[in-house]
Amino acid sequence: MRIAFLMAPAGVEQVELTEPWQAVQDAGDEPVLISTKPGRVQAFQGLDKGDTFPVDEIVSDVSAGSFGGLVLPGGVANPDFLRMDRQAVSFVSDFFSQGRPVASICHGPWTLVEADAVRGRTLTSWPSLRTDIKNAGGTWVDEEVHICEQGNNVLITSRKPADLPAFCEAFLREFGRAMV
């Protein structure tokens, strides 16, 4: 199964990309790095520059139907850039309209807010997003990982890098269930 990892050209928290990416590979699935521009994505470790990662596809050339699920890593700048990109927001919205599972960690839900995908849902995130989620019609909880099923959609969210083991386990399980 192909799993989309959507990120901006800069600002993703490196560990929130690399650990889920490795988990997808270890499960025998294919992670695909999608960005708003071709080239490489600049990751960060906190506020310091980390490694760069090659973009596999650009968001304007792909559709949600080509993937079994979507992962939205955090970092403060990454989702802030994504929520300002019309095609990225549309790509995220398409996963929900097609009933495909979505996983998001840390600041990743900012993109979900922009895609109007949190209304009526319960989710977690980095604590500073609590008010944004509430104002967008969602319910925020302080949990290591939260799975919200609404109709034929499943949304898996986590708060921070320390939650990555639980996050990866939960999204891999839910993505696998969705493909059965």
Q: Tell me which residues are annotated as active site.
A: 106
Q: Could you tell me which residues come within 8 angstroms of residue 3 by beta carbon, excluding any fewer than 6 positions away?
A: 24, 29, 30, 31, 32, 67, 68, 69, 70, 71, 175
Contact status, residue 34 vs residue 5, Cβ threshold 8 Å? yes
